[in-house]
């Protein structure tokens, strides 16, 4: 059941960008507000799950608490960058750039701050991933017709990749001493608090439809998905789980192409293949 749970988690994660597009089409809700409600709804559910499944919310060491604070701020930043990137590009491009760039940035940050060795094969994968992201950016419009807002959206999605990579690298050592669900519960709580000032400048989301989409975003592809993922890790190796989570960008891309009219073009498709291949290579080498 472990691999199945991880695939289910990854598939639900893959619906996040599509949900943002549906929210954006139905009402003028900013990415900041969407990010706040995602973590704000998920945090209490993850806290309950941590108490019932993960052994509680206690963190013994002050150093771990400070790292979880930094990780939580990075998770809050990820919400903003990711949703803004998807809103300005497309479900397929925004999701692929943000989700698939994260492992590349993780490799770079781990080498810089954790002393992890980067060999020739890894550098090759990093180069392929960077080339893939560039081709994916150019593909849908062509080099001479890139809309400025689309380019800004890609940069925002890359900011999401950097933010998630920061979260992963900072939290990496803590997970060895603190239960994963506890880490998730506390970091999502910090993320929610960090985005709380959004409510002072943004009005409440209008309409029952928008509230329903926000509730789905916080419950299904966030709280429930993370619980499924953690449960699946109990009987699945880290390498296998990394490969299985590629179902997330694949799901996002399929939803974008099938339901939102996203088009990658031949160059963009090649870029997506390079980016996914680089992530698969990096995952298998771990």
Q: Residues 251-270: pLDDT tens digits?
A: 999 999 899 988 888 888 99
pLDDT band at 188 (very low <50, low <70, confident <90, very high): very high
- The pLDDT of residue 143: 64
- Residue 129: enclosing H or E segment and its boundaries? helix 120-138
Residues 128-134, mean pLDDT to the nearest whole number: 88
Count of domains observed in the chain: 1
- The pLDDT of residue 40: 95
Q: Kindly give, in sequence order, each residue whose CB lies less than 8 Å from that of residue 178, ignoring residues fewer than 6 positions away.
A: 59, 64, 68
- pLDDT tens digits, residue range 33-70? 999 999 999 999 999 999 988 778 888 888 999 999 99
Give CA angle at 79 (77, 82), nearest 5°: 105
- DSSP letter, residue 54: S
- The pLDDT of residue 176: 79
- The pLDDT of residue 142: 65
What residue numbers bound the domain in which 37 lies?
2-285
Residues 80-99, mean pLDDT to the nearest whole number: 92
Mean pLDDT for the chain overall: 88
pLDDT at 144 over 70: no
Per the CB < 8 A criterion, the answer to whether 32 and 80 are in contact is yes
Q: What percent of the chain has pLDDT over 90?
A: 46
- The pLDDT of residue 286: 59
- The pLDDT of residue 167: 93
């Amino acid at each position: 059941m472990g691999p199945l749970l991880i695939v289910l988690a990854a598939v639900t994660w893959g619906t996040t960008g599509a949900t943002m597009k549906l929210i954006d089409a139905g009402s003028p809700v900013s990415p900041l507000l969407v990010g706040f409600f995602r973590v704000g709804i998920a945090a209490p559910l993850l806290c309950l799950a941590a108490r019932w499944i993960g052994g509680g919310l206690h963190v013994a060491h002050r150093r771990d608490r400070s790292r979880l604070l930094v990780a939580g701020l990075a998770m809050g930043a990820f919400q903003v960058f990711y949703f803004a990137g998807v809103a300005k590009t497309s479900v397929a491009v925004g999701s692929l750039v943000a989700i698939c760039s994260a492992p590349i940035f993780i490799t770079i940050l781990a080498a810089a701050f954790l002393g992890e060795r980067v060999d020739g094969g890894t550098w090759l994968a990093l180069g392929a991933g960077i080339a893939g992201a560039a081709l994916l950016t150019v593909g849908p419009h062509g080099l001479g017709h890139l809309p400025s807002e689309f380019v800004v959206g890609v940069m925002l999605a890359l900011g999401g990749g950097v933010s998630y990579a920061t979260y992963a690298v900072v939290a990496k050592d803590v997970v060895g001493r603190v239960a994963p669900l506890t880490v998730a519960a506390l970091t999502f709580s910090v993320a929610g608090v960090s985005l709380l000032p959004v409510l002072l400048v943004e009005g409440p989301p209008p309409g029952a439809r928008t509230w329903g989409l926000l509730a789905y975003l916080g419950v299904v592809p966030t709280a429930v998905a993370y619980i499924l993922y953690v449960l699946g890790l109990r009987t699945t190796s880290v390498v296998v789980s990394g490969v299985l989570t590629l179902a997330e960008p694949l799901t996002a891309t399929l939803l974008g192409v099938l339901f939102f009219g996203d088009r990658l073009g031949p160059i963009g498709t090649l870029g997506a293949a390079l980016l996914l291949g680089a992530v698969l290579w990096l995952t298998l080498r771990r």
